[in-house]
Amino acid sequence: MEQYTREAADLHAGRKPNLFKAEGTTIRDIANNYLAAQLEKAKRGLIRPASFNDCLQTVRAFVRTVGAERQWTDIGPDDCGQYRLKLYDSVGVCAIERSISIVRSMFRHAYDTKLIDQPVRYGGQFNKPSQKEKRRNRSERDRKHGKRLFAPEEIRLLLNNAQQPLKAMILLGINGGFGNTDCAELPVQAVDLQRQLIDYERPKTAVQRVMPLWPETADALREVMSGKRPRPSRPEFDNLVFLTRFGNPWKQEQVRIDGPGGDPKVSRHSAIVLEFGKLLDHLGMKRPGLGFYALRHTFRTWSDETHDQHAIHRMMGHAIPGMSGLYVEEVSVARLRCVAEHVRQKAFSLQ
């Protein structure tokens, strides 16, 4: 009856009842409400399963730290500070920043949905890592493991030893900064081998991506697309350029719930990571931090020497920053080809 009295006006007006609980909202309530909203986004494709997994693991860790049945009004700066210190003992600076963002987002969602009636006070200890901390962390990592960068001779060694279709993916990585997901999700209609061009909207950023293909990249893609292509395991995979020998995408992420009321589980598998890792190991090049995504770092580093930032953004599928993004209507293919050719000359030591 007390619940009906609180919710009657909203119910009769056809509105969703106010979630605020007079007897007190617990951290469990806040966490479950937030994760349910994130799960709906993942189901609708608004966020990636990997992003939902980050939310799930971070929220669970935070709830374990502060206590699931505690009233939200008991949570203060000391609790947030203790959680941040625990993060320092287990993860790096980037993961700390991501975790703090998720926890703040969770409490902001609770306030926006009227689950709590005022914002949470975090205290100064719950700020994201400073730029100084990030620079120091990166310097330490570089000193210990080296930069996330390939040398030209290493690029050639990879290409000389890679089998198709991994060879074509490596070429896409250094030709235009393609990452693991970019390769796995590349649609057939985006590839124009006659014009030697890739032109499509990058799913991750919804930004138009235009990338001129090197002759070597175009030949490798032609071989992959015209050869004996694996039969897709599901009809929706038929539009992908790259398929494993089992007919699946080279990278798969899925949110799964086993049975009614079951906990959400995220399954992730990347054949690109596995196969590229085997190649690095075979060539004696494997080291922490150096994976397929380092090709994207290498392309960005080398292409920066052309000083054409707008062209580089367009090739990598990034939005042009600032007011320029509003006024620059197009970047000519000629400019893009200049960037691509500069990187090609460096990769194959043609300069």
CATH of the domain at 281: 1.10.443.10
Structural domain boundaries enclosing 8: 2-145
* pLDDT tens by residue, the chain, 351 residues: 766 776 776 677 676 665 555 457 899 999 999 999 999 898 888 888 888 989 999 999 999 988 888 888 888 898 888 888 888 878 878 888 999 999 999 999 999 998 888 898 888 888 888 888 888 877 887 787 778 899 999 999 999 999 999 999 999 999 999 999 999 999 999 999 999 999 998 877 778 899 999 999 999 999 998 877 888 888 989 999 999 988 899 887 776 666 556 667 666 678 899 999 999 999 999 888 889 999 999 999 999 999 999 999 999 988 888 888 778 888 899 999 999 999 999 999 876
Domain count, the chain: 2
User: Distances in Å between the alpha carbon of 11 and those of 5, 6, 117, 160, 237?
Assistant: 10, 10, 20, 68, 44
CATH of the domain at 17: 1.10.150.130
Question: What is the spatial distance between Cα 44 and Cα 42, in angstroms, rounded to a whole number?
Answer: 5
pTM: predicted TM-score of the whole model, two decimal places: 0.79
DSSP state of 22: T
* 242 within domain boundaries: no
- Which residue among 145, 163, 198 closes a domain? 145
Sheet holding 191-192, edge to edge: 191-192, 197-202, 207-212
134 & 175 share domain: no
92 & 61 share domain: yes
168 & 206 share domain: yes
27 within 8 A of 35, measured Cβ to Cβ: no
- Which residue among 93, 124, 145 closes a domain? 145
